[in-house]
A and B are shown apart, each in its own frame.
Chain A
């Protein structure tokens, strides 16, 4: 069996979920001896991978692959497939993956099982993935010769990566056949002066359950008291109550603080993805069925407007 892991670059760094995907591949390799290869298009980052245990690292000669372009990536992968014929392609379930990997599935005519959270091997590859907004889970066995899977952030820990030797083989892709119908523009950020929550020790995070904008200070007072940063779920940002830079989740920041204090956050899967790595989670919600309670260490079913001001005073 041959596994190919795609190493995505983001802001000229390796995307954390790519390393987690590599852990998944290594895990399979341990149980069935599969070859694990990796592909990285951003050649600036090759060195960062040189200490990992890999059967091969494919790197391109082509400069135009340094920056993401769906059609160029698609053609490059098409050529990789012809040469390497991996049984399993593994991606992180990132925004970039969503943008072009489904095309790859169509181009190669092989299934793409996206947003997985676990993988196992015994006779065949089985994966787990959440369905119905993570209220249910499904377990799938791959029966086709080749398949693509992608992993949700946080499914594996990058700390578990096996180190070792890695040989890189440079490939030259012929991309001349690609008809350019997509002209990618400059990337930009909308909010002024972004807040980096990824290094915050404590986070007090606000969800729709706070009720209205005027109640935001209740959360801010608590945050001040315990030296925490303010974070939020998407609806609060969409409503304009907090700046986009505070947003945590699949379309915001991914955080792993010592304490994540969720106020009125029900825990939509898109939010949980961004904070489930937190060491301790305290959640307050009126809804006793709120999914966030599933991953919380401490769950309070109650009215945060009553509890939090008193708690802040008490601390």
Chain B
């Protein structure tokens, strides 16, 4: 079973965000692996262990993204593809998918895993677009996988607490819902093995694609608050009496 996991480097949740001229100051960001992608990697590693398979990490991003690769290799992935690209934030999901597809189309992966969405731009499309470009079957919000020989059963999360088991023919591209598993920690041995694992590095310009997002980014801003928020402050007793007043007299709870 050959599995490809699409992973991305993003800003951590506590990164300071500042904008000037509609550009986010990248230097101040604390960069980490996109959390939803760690669930995708873990699911791939679990299947690798069951099927004696091979896991390849694929990331598109600047030099700094090699940290994502190293972390993934340390956790047990076998090799990696790093497509170097400095300005992914202006690209559409479709363009990004085309770049990645061009690079991986001859690898004949049985499975492509991606995290549900990235914590920065959050389009939640990549793995599904690639399924169309490569003519793979697909599923999104996958909450469970069962694999027997060439049969893949997946459990999908639907809305309002509903679920659905489906059978997919391989090859398939799955977008993994966070919480499907418990991502492992890198072991010290795993970390030490990183330097011996192959990383295929290529600049995206070498792939010779002409791209056009089909939209322009006009503005990046800090969202305006639509609501007036009243801050309730003071000592505990003070807060309690203010809240009591609001609940009884304004909202009129019984």
Residues of chain A contacted by B213 (CB below 8 angstroms) = 111, 143
Whether A143 contacts B125 in the complex (CB less than 8 A), given A95-B141, A297-B227, comes out as: no
Q: Which chain A residues numbered 290 to 305 have a C-beta less than 8 Å away from chain B?
A: 293-303
Picked from A138, A143, A189, the residue with its CB within 8 Å of the CB of B220 is A138
By Cβ-Cβ distance, the 5 closest A-B pairs, closest first, are A144-B214, A111-B214, A102-B128, A106-B132, A102-B125
Mark B145-172 against chain A: 1 for CB-CB distance below 8 A, else 0.
0000000000011111111111111001
Closest A residue by C-beta to B169: A181
Q: For B159, give its contact among A70, A227, A251 (CB under 8 Å).
A: A251
Q: Which of B121, B157, B159, B172: most chain A CB closer than 10 A?
A: B159
The CA of A144 and the CA of B121, in the complex, are separated in Å by 20
Which residues of A81-129 are within 8 A (CB) of B?
Answer: 94-96, 98-103, 105-107, 109-115, 126
Question: What CA separation (Å) do A70 and B141 show in the bound complex?
Answer: 14
Cβ-defined contact, A140 with B161, below 8 A: no
> When each residue 216-242 of chain B gets 1 if its CB lies under 8 Å from chain A and 0 otherwise, what string results?
111111110111111111001101110
Interface residue A163 (Cβ < 8 Å from any Cβ of B): no
The minimal Cβ–Cβ distance linking B214 to chain A, given in whole angstroms, is: 3
- Nearest-neighbor residue (CB-CB) of A279 within chain B: B251
* Chain A CB within 8 A of B93 CB: yes
A185 close to B215 (CB less than 8 A)? no
Q: Closest residue of chain A to B248, judged by CB?
A: A315
CB within 8 Å: A-B pair count:
252
Secondary structure type dominating chain B contacts: mixed
Q: Are A143 and B121 in contact (CB under 8 A)?
A: no
Please determine whether B166 and A132 come into contact, CB atoms closer than 8 angstroms. no
Q: Would you call B137 and A181 a contact (CB within 8 A)?
A: yes
A10 within 8 A of B: yes
A174 at interface, CB cutoff 8 A: no
Question: With contacts A99-B140, A105-B125, A194-B161 known, is A258 near B17, CB below 8 A?
Answer: no
Question: Nearest A residue to B133 by beta-carbon distance?
Answer: A106
Give 6 pairs: A residue, B residue, CB < 8 Å, sorted on A. Answer: A70-B138, A103-B128, A106-B94, A113-B215, A131-B122, A182-B169
Contact A185 B160 (CB under 8 A): no
* Chain A facing B: main interface SS: mixed
Chain B count of residues within 8 A CB distance of the other chain: 82
Asked if A136 CB lies within 8 Å of chain B CBs, one says yes
Does B1 lie at the interface of the complex (its beta carbon under 8 Å from any beta carbon of A)? no
List of B residues within 8 angstroms of A251 by Cβ: 141, 157, 159, 177
Contacts of B243 in A (CB 8 A): 282, 298, 300, 307, 311
> Is A190 touching B163 in the complex (CB atoms < 8 A)?
yes
Q: How far is it, in angstroms, between the C-alpha of A238 and the C-alpha of B17 when the chains are bound?
A: 29
Nearest Cβ on chain A to B58's Cβ, whole angstroms: 17
Q: Which residues of A contact B17 (CB under 8 A)?
A: 132, 135-136
Return the contact of B246 from the options A138, A202, A282, A306 (Cβ within 8 A): A282
List chain B residues, Cβ under 8 A from A245.
161
**What 0/1 pattern do residues 17 to 36 of B give for CB contact below 8 A with A?**
10100001000000000000
State A90–B20 Cα separation when bound (angstroms). 32
A105-B94, A188-B164, A311-B243 provided; 20 other pairs, C-beta below 8 A? A94-B159, A95-B140, A95-B157, A102-B132, A107-B132, A114-B123, A115-B123, A138-B217, A138-B219, A140-B216, A141-B215, A183-B168, A184-B164, A227-B253, A234-B179, A253-B160, A280-B251, A297-B228, A300-B243, A301-B233
Contact of B13 with A by CB under 8 A = yes
Q: Are B218 and A10 in contact (CB under 8 A)?
A: no
Residue of A nearest to B168 (CB): A182
Cβ of A222 to closest chain B Cβ, rounded Å: 10
A314 CB within 8 Å of chain B: yes
Cβ A147 vs Cβ B215 within 8 A: yes
**A187 interfacial by beta-carbon distance below 8 Å:** yes
Q: Name A98's contact: one of B141, B241, B251 (CB within 8 Å).
A: B141
